Amino acid sequence: MKNPFGKRKEPLTDTQLLMTITIGIFVVMYILAMTLLGGGFLHAQQIFDMLNDNASLIIVSCGLTIVMIGGGIDISVGAVTSLVVMSCVLYLNNGGNVFVSILLALGIGLAFGLVQGFLISYLEIQPFIVTLAGMFFARGMTTILSVNPQKVDHAAFAKVRDTQIVIPWLGYTAKNGNLVPARIELGVIVALICVAFIFVLLKYLRLGRNFYAMGGNQTSALMLGINVKRTRFFSYILSGLLSGISGFVFMMHTGAGNATNAAGMEMNAIASSIIGGTLLTGGVGNVIGTFFGTMTLTTIKKIVVSSGLNDPWWQSITTGGMLCFFILLQSVVLGRRSKKKKS
């Protein structure tokens, strides 16, 4: 039957389908939390607090999404973030300049991206091995810089750290009758800009399309004339740069540095990407899905704490269970979709 509007509706791609599922699950989970638990879930500030606390994770997850779409992996991002935090804290405490500290953060991230990208892309060493070595190296360098926690003592940085965007009309009235306005940290704005930039890159630019082609089928990508080595190299450069940005945003949020900063961030970033619909096999993924994957992961943890399960292992158990659920869901959905295409 001919479409009365003259144009046939195209089916959702695998990337769009998995992203839609993630967004739907996040919305349902949050509505259930508002209905059953109430409390902070009823206020807009809960969403903003989730963003404030996880801005650096969102940025790192964006970088990891690019690498995973291209069929790679980068487990050094958390350690690089820690190294950036400690380096910038010590630099600022020794009379450094805020702008130069930003360049330092970008430089460290870029250095890791360049070295690891070169070893993986042009020397064809396994990504897991290279980034594992990068993780250990970054952790060791962080410990060499300082074993003890370091608080940033810098007047100009304190002004940047304390700057917040206040939204009074999204606030709420406290029990004492005072209006508590909603507040967003600058790090959240940086994270959203990174998400928007990576979204445009993946959807509209040739480099982004090359990432998908390389991750989907490397042989086909070569036949299409794509320089696979260079494309993979760029994916690790972007991941390194975003790790550097993440480190500075992390420092803006905490105002301190520690050798254990961002411990386990790489695992949370991988989980966020997978929950957001990025496949470990490559070729499928979307940074918007990753953003909602991070928010879903955070919502799960908030629900667990609000339910009275304050022990840290409950968060790990629920995160692991949710991750397995999403992997199984992806397999079922894409498996059925593949059968329909064949039939």
Pick the most confident of 11-20, 28-37, 193-202, 268-277.
193-202
Whether residue 232 lies inside any domain: the answer is yes
Q: What is the arithmetic mean of pLDDT over 122-144?
A: 95
In a domain, residue 4? The reply is: no
pTM for the complete prediction? Answer: 0.91
Given a cut of 70, whether residue 340 has pLDDT beyond it is no
Q: Note whether residue 29 is domain-resident.
A: no
Q: What is the mean pLDDT of residues 137-159?
A: 90
Residue 4: band (very low, low, confident or very high) from pLDDT cuts 50, 70, 90 = low
**pLDDT, tens digit (0-9, with 9 covering 90-100), for 50-103:** 999 999 999 999 999 999 999 999 999 999 999 999 999 999 999 889 999 999
Is 340 among the domain residues?
no
> How much is the pLDDT for 182?
83
User: Which residues constitute the domain of residue 275?
Assistant: 39-295
Which CATH number covers residue 72? 1.10.3470
Q: What's the 3-state SS for the chain?
A: CCCCCCCCCCCCCHHHHHHHHHHHHHHHHHHHHHHHCCHHHHCHHHHHHHHHHHHHHHHHHHHHHHHHHCCCCCCCHHHHHHHHHHHHHHHHHCCCCHHHHHHHHHHHHHHHHHHHHHHHHCCCCCHHHHHHHHHHHHHHHHHHHCCCCEECCCHHHHHHHHCEEEEEEEEEECCCCCEEEEEEEHHHHHHHHHHHHHHHHHHHCHHHHHHHHHHHCHHHHHHCCCCHHHHHHHHHHHHHHHHHHHHHHHHHHHCEECCCCCCCHHHHHHHHHHHCCCCCCCCCCCHHHHHHHHHHHHHHHHHHHHCCCCCHHHHHHHHHHHHHHHHHHHHHHHHHHHHHHHC
309 vs 146, more confident: 146
279 within a domain of the structure (yes/no)? yes
pLDDT of residue 1: 45
Mean local confidence (pLDDT), 184-193: 95
Domain count of the chain?
1
Does residue 322 sit within a domain?
Answer: no
Q: For the chain, give the mean pLDDT.
A: 88
Overall average pLDDT of the 291-298 stretch: 92
Query: Would 65 be classed as within a structural domain?
Result: yes
